[in-house]
């Protein structure tokens, strides 16, 4: 019997890589999407194949509408998907994070965020809905625990992530009963994008008093992918951050 198959956008680095590795370790064939990180994606796929896994890499710029449509077509016709008879899991992980003061924020900045975080997930979900529904698949989007809060210089980011969350809730109703749709909301995940001093201040608001790891997020994504009676939910993986006033 063919392996279950997962397609992960932005799957070459950080949280995306952890998701890819987690699914591969659990017997999934993995299709790794990359935009600019082709070298990292190819190295990851080769590493997984050396461990006995099945992995492939597809490159596309999700800011480009036509390229995103073509990507969906390539996934739909991918040998892993054809062999399986459908796509088990679609993970919308690709993201862009930048801090821009409101006085410098442009309409183009907002357009790019919405394009990446809202429009391209919609396109991919629509384009892959048949191969998902044929096997009662699952869609999982990476949102953010900051989406309902004020964060300085992040209005464009949090607004687009909130839009993604609401889109997924809508799709959960539209695609039921054959496709489940959920979100994972990461909290404070330490990365090179954060200054340590700023991050230490953030951790004071986290009851567990530690940062999350990419593996924490990957475990949550895997759980939802296999939780057959859960749809239309956002699982916050934030160490209790949202409990703080």
Domain with 132 in it: 5-239
What b/e string do you get for 183-198 counting C-beta neighbours within 10 Å, with b at 16 or more? bbbbbbbeeeeeeeee
Residue that wins the pLDDT comparison between 53 and 98: 53
Is 245 a domain residue?
Answer: no
Find residue 30's DSSP bridge partners: 6, 55
- Tell me if 115 is assigned to some domain: yes
Q: What angle do CA 44, 161, 129 make, to 5 degrees?
A: 65
Q: Tell me the mean pLDDT in the region 213-217.
A: 95
CATH code for position 49: 3.40.50.720
pLDDT at 197 over 70: no
| Token couple for 70 | 């073509």
For 84, 109, 176, 228, 231, the CA distances from 69, given in Å and listed in that order, are 22, 22, 23, 28, 25
Q: Kindly tell me if the per-residue pLDDT of 193 is higher than 60.
A: no
Quick check: 205 and 244 in contact, CB under 8 A? Answer: yes
Q: Poorest-confidence range of 47-61, 90-104, 125-139, 140-154?
A: 140-154
Q: According to the model, what pLDDT value does residue 205 have?
A: 82
> Is there a domain that residue 17 lies in?
yes
Residue (of 127, 157, 133, 129) closest to 145 by Cα position: 157
In a domain, 157, yes or no: yes
Residue 187 within any structural domain of the chain: yes
* Overall domain count for the chain: 1
Preceding omega of 104 cis (within 30 degrees of 0) = no
Percent with pLDDT over 70 in the chain: 93
Distance (Å, rounded) from C-alpha 125 to C-alpha 128?
5
For residue 134, being part of any structural domain is answered with: yes
Please check whether residue 123 lies inside any domain of the structure.
yes
Mean pLDDT for the chain overall: 93
């Amino acid at each position: 019997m063919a392996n279950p198959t997962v397609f992960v956008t932005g799957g070459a680095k950080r949280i995306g890589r952890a998701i890819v590795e987690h699914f591969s370790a659990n017997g999934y064939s993995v299709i790794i999407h990359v935009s600019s990180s082709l070298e990292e994606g190819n190295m990851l796929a080769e590493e997984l194949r050396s461990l006995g896994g099945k992995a492939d890499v597809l490159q596309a710029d999700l800011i480009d509408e036509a390229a995103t449509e073509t990507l969906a077509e390539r996934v739909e016709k991918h040998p892993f998907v054809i062999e399986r008879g459908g796509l088990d899991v679609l993970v919308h992980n690709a993201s862009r994070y930048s801090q821009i003061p409101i006085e410098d924020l442009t309409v183009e900045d907002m357009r790019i965020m919405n394009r990446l975080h809202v429009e391209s997930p919609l396109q991919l979900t629509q384009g892959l809905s048949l191969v998902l529904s044929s096997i009662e698949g699952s869609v999982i989007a990476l949102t953010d625990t900051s989406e309902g809060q004020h964060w300085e210089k992040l209005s464009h980011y949090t607004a687009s992530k909130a839009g993604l969350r609401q889109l997924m809730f809508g799709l959960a109703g539209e695609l039921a009963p054959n496709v489940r749709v959920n979100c994972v909301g990461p909290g404070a995940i330490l990365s090179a994008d954060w200054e340590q001093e700023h991050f230490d201040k953030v951790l004071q608001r986290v009851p567990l008093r530690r940062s999350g790891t990419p593996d924490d997020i990957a475990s949550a994504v895997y759980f939802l992918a296999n939780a057959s009676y859960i749809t239309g939910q956002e699982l916050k993986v934030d160490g209790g951050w949202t409990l703080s006033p």
